[in-house]
Structure 1
Amino acid sequence: MGSTEEQGLDVAALERYLAAELTDGLAGPLQTRLIAGGRSNPTYELTDGTSAWILRRPPYGEILQSAHDMSRESRVMSALAGSAVPVPRVVAQCEDDSVIGAGFYVMDKIEGRTYRTAEDTGTLTPEQRAALTESMLDTLVALHEIEPAAVGLADWGKPEGYLERQVRRWARQWHTIKTAERPEVDELVAILERSMPPLKFPGIVHGDYKIDNLMVAHDDPSQILGVLDWEMSTLGDTLADLGVLISFWDEIGQFHNPITAGATAHDGFPTGAEVVAKYAERRCISIDDLEWYIVFADFKIAVILEQIHARHLKGTTVGDWFDDIGDMVEPLLGRARDRAIRAGL
Structure 2
Amino acid sequence: MSDADPPGVDLARLRTYLDRELPGTVTGPLTARLVEGGRSNLTYIVDDGSRRLVLRRPPLGHVLPTAHDMSREYRVISGLHGTPVPVPRAHVLCTDDDVLGAQFYVMDFVEGSPLRTAEQLRPRGEERTRAITGRLVDTLVELHAVDPTAVGLADFGKPDGFLERQLRRWSKQLAASRSRDVPGIDELHERLAARIPPSPAPSIVHGDYRLDNVLVGTDDRINAVLDWEMSTLGDPLTDLALLLAYSQLHTLDLDTVSDVGAAPGHPSPDEIADAYTRASGRDVSDLGWYLGFALFKLAVILEGIYYRYSHGQTVGEGFDRIGAGVAPLVALGNSALKGN
Equivalent position SS for 2:98:
coil
- Cα distance between partner residues in 2 of 1:148 and 1:328: 37
Residue in 2 that maps onto 1:331: 325
1:197-234 deviations in Å (ceiling 9; x for gaps): 1112421111111001111222x11x111111111111
Residue in 2 that maps onto 1:154: 154
- Cα distance between partner residues in 1 of 2:301 and 2:65: 14
Give the TM-score taking structure 1 as reference length: 0.87
Structure 1 residue runs of 5 or longer lacking an equivalent are none
Equivalent position SS for 2:227:
coil
Residue in 1 that maps onto 2:93: 93
Equivalent position SS for 1:125:
helix
Residue in 2 that maps onto 1:261: 258
Q: Is the CA contact 2:293–2:333 (under 8 Å) kept in the aligned structure 1?
A: no
Q: 1:170 to 1:326 in 2, by over 3 A?
A: farther
Residue in 2 that maps onto 1:228: 226
Q: 1:197 to 1:70 in 2, by over 3 A?
A: same
- Aligned partner (choices 217, 227, 249) of residue 247 of structure 2: 249
Q: 1:201 to 1:49 in 2, by over 3 A?
A: same
- Cα distance between partner residues in 2 of 1:333 and 1:98: 44
1:57-100 deviations in Å (ceiling 9; x for gaps): 12233434532212101100000000010100111211222222
- Aligned partner (choices 286, 294, 307) of residue 297 of structure 1: 294
Equivalent position SS for 2:33:
strand
Q: Which amino acid aligns with 2:234?
A: G
Q: CA deviation at 1:295?
A: 2.2
Q: CA deviation at 1:259?
A: 5.6
- Aligned partner (choices 282, 286, 309) of residue 283 of structure 2: 286
Q: 1:68 to 1:192 in 2, by over 3 A?
A: farther
Q: 1:51 to 1:304 in 2, by over 3 A?
A: farther
Equivalent position SS for 1:248:
helix
Give the TM-score taking structure 2 as reference length: 0.88
Structure 2 residue runs of 5 or longer lacking an equivalent are none
- Cα distance between partner residues in 2 of 1:188 and 1:174: 12
Q: Is the CA contact 1:158–1:236 (under 8 Å) kept in the aligned structure 2?
A: yes
1:29-48 deviations in Å (ceiling 9; x for gaps): 22111112311212111111
Fraction of identical pairs, as percent: 43
Q: CA deviation at 1:248?
A: 0.8
Q: CA deviation at 1:53?
A: 1.3
Greater shift, 146-155 or 179-188, is seen at 179-188
Q: CA deviation at 1:23?
A: 3.4
Matches for 1:55-204 after TM superposition, within 5 Å: 55-64=55-64, 66-176=66-176, 178=177, 180-183=179-182, 185-204=185-204
Q: Which amino acid aligns with 1:262?
A: D
